[in-house]
Structure 1
Amino acid sequence: MTLVSLKVDKSGGDTPDHVATVTLLGPGKGNAMGPDFWRELPQVFAELDSDPQVRAIVLTGSGANFSYGLDLPAMMPSWGSMLAGDSLAGPRTRFLTEIRALQDAVTSVARCRKPVIAAVSGWCIGGGVDVVAAADIRLASADARFSVREVKVAIVADLGSLQRLAGIIGEGHVRELAYTGKDIPAARAQQIGLVNDVYDDQAAVLAAAHALAAEIAANPPLVVQGTKDVLNHAREQQVADGLRYVSAWNAAFLPSRDLGEAVQAFLERRPPSFSGE
């Protein structure tokens, strides 16, 4: 499989330990998630799911950051007709299909039978939070920063954060993060349960993630997979219902003057001015 936005390493070092590493590459700045990422993510996790030599997965970002989230400039060409305020059923239906494809890409991480440990350094914004929320366990370096930032760009978060984070950090914390779009540091993320542990730097968090993955991989693989299946059973059905609802909501209501203003302000590198229209 030729990949552009992801790198997969199954080497396991000198002594194979049944741990695969998936690294976000971009190519957008800060590993921003463009069309290549959304196409490749489900392919990679389906392949790892079916590989009997892989028993656990570490997911991380290249460079200083995990991900800046959705690559808006790269995604805009396919969204142009939907953003028109007078878009009719055809464009809205196509946009609904696209939202659900992106949702399925994130869900491929949760659906993978092998436990996934996210090792987060630097920024983890928007779509980055969606992806790490779909992982089984999250670890962070001290410089990590998290933000459910969709509200800042006039979008209802629709790729899984609103559905999965409640079971991780609780309703109150989800609502605070989603309503404000604020950034929180690694220490706050650990305090609210978004990450299990915080390490000094990127090298330390990667080492810890690999050690934890190897510890998991040393256990009977079918039992570990069965445990994940049982833990996911009730939650993922509820998540699926929530994803269908928010995708229909955004296909109906996302086009707005505020969204156009958010995109224009982003491209012009200025603060947006929202009107509620």
Structure 2
Amino acid sequence: MVEGLRFERDGGVGRLTFARPEKKNAITYQMWSAIPDVVAEVEADPEIIALVLTGAGTDFSAGADISEFGRLRSTAESAAAYDKVVEAAVTALAEMRKPSVAMIRGNCIGGGCQVSVACDFRFAQAGARFGITPAKLGIVYDFRSTRQLVGLIGPAHARYLLLSGRFVDAARAREIGLVNDVFTAEEFEAEVHSFVDTLGQRSQASIRGMNRIIEKISAGQRESDSEVEAIRSAAVHGPDYAEGVAAFLDGRPPRFTYR
């Protein structure tokens, strides 16, 4: 693992931590580059059911490490190459079949917010703050991340964040749909872990199939296609469907086995 990232397994959960607390977990080029490999490892490991992303210390991430820009984004060509690495990280997270959960404390700014939006779920601790600041740097946000943001909070709120570069607090982030929920510092860890545990109790065939279909809808697809029908057919012929129906009829919790 590259410096500034820490990946650990905790039972059926993978945990990816931005680990530069002295820099508010600013994301370096090497950290961006490593994210797709972490995602691939999680997707390939049958024992992992979800990926949790968080930050060490008091912040999620204050964004890309701008101190590198003079060296790595000094020309239009080098900026384009840098952006491709960021887009690859965002794409890897957005296309995960297994669910991803951003666990947000403190600053979630710029590239940090970009990472959180690429996740399936976002939970914030009270006191967190959010902002997306390309307009402060003369940068135009990439298409995929802009589409994800607009799909999540709508064009009016997306324009507010992107065009103004202003920050919003956790309560406002929940109001506009940027986060799923906000918890006190005392509740935060337990509530997020409880939610991830809930995901682990559900049918993984259902979760991964529906996650793929939601991704296709979010990308603008309006009708079913052969992939969607194959996902649905595999589910209804799979062991989780038989177990889910049997458990319901027996009045007991299901014991899903699909990994």
The 1:142/1:160 distance shift into structure 2, 3 A limit, reads: farther
Look up the match of 2:37.
43
Residues 124 and 147 in structure 1, CA contact (< 8 A), matched pair in contact too: yes
User: Structure 1 residue 189 and structure 2 residue 188: aligned?
Assistant: no
Look up the match of 2:108.
124
Residues 144 and 185 in structure 1, CA contact (< 8 A), matched pair in contact too: yes
Look up the match of 1:147.
131
Look up the match of 1:73.
67
CA shift for structure 1 position 160? 4.4
Residues 26 and 37 in structure 1, CA contact (< 8 A), matched pair in contact too: no
Gaps of 5+ in 1: 13-17, 83-91, 239-277
Look up the match of 2:208.
225
Report runs of 4+ in structure 1 exceeding 6 Å deviation. none
Greater relative contact order (Cα < 8 A, sep 6+) = 1
Give % identity: 34
Gaps of 5+ in 2: 222-259
Deviations, residues 48-69 of structure 1 (Å, cap 9, x unaligned): 1111111112111111000010
Residues 21 and 56 in structure 2, CA contact (< 8 A), matched pair in contact too: no
Alignment partner of 2:187 out of 191, 204, 212: 204
Q: Which moved more, 1:44-53 or 1:94-103?
A: 94-103
Residues 146 and 183 in structure 1, CA contact (< 8 A), matched pair in contact too: yes
TM-score by length of 1: 0.75
Residues 101 and 119 in structure 2, CA contact (< 8 A), matched pair in contact too: yes
**3-state SS in 2 of match to 1:138:** strand
For the aligned residue pairs, the C-alpha RMSD in angstroms reads 1.8
Look up the match of 2:217.
234
- Matched positions, count: 221
Deviations, residues 242-262 of structure 1 (Å, cap 9, x unaligned): xxxxxxxxxxxxxxxxxxxxx
CA shift for structure 1 position 207? 2.4
Look up the match of 1:106.
90
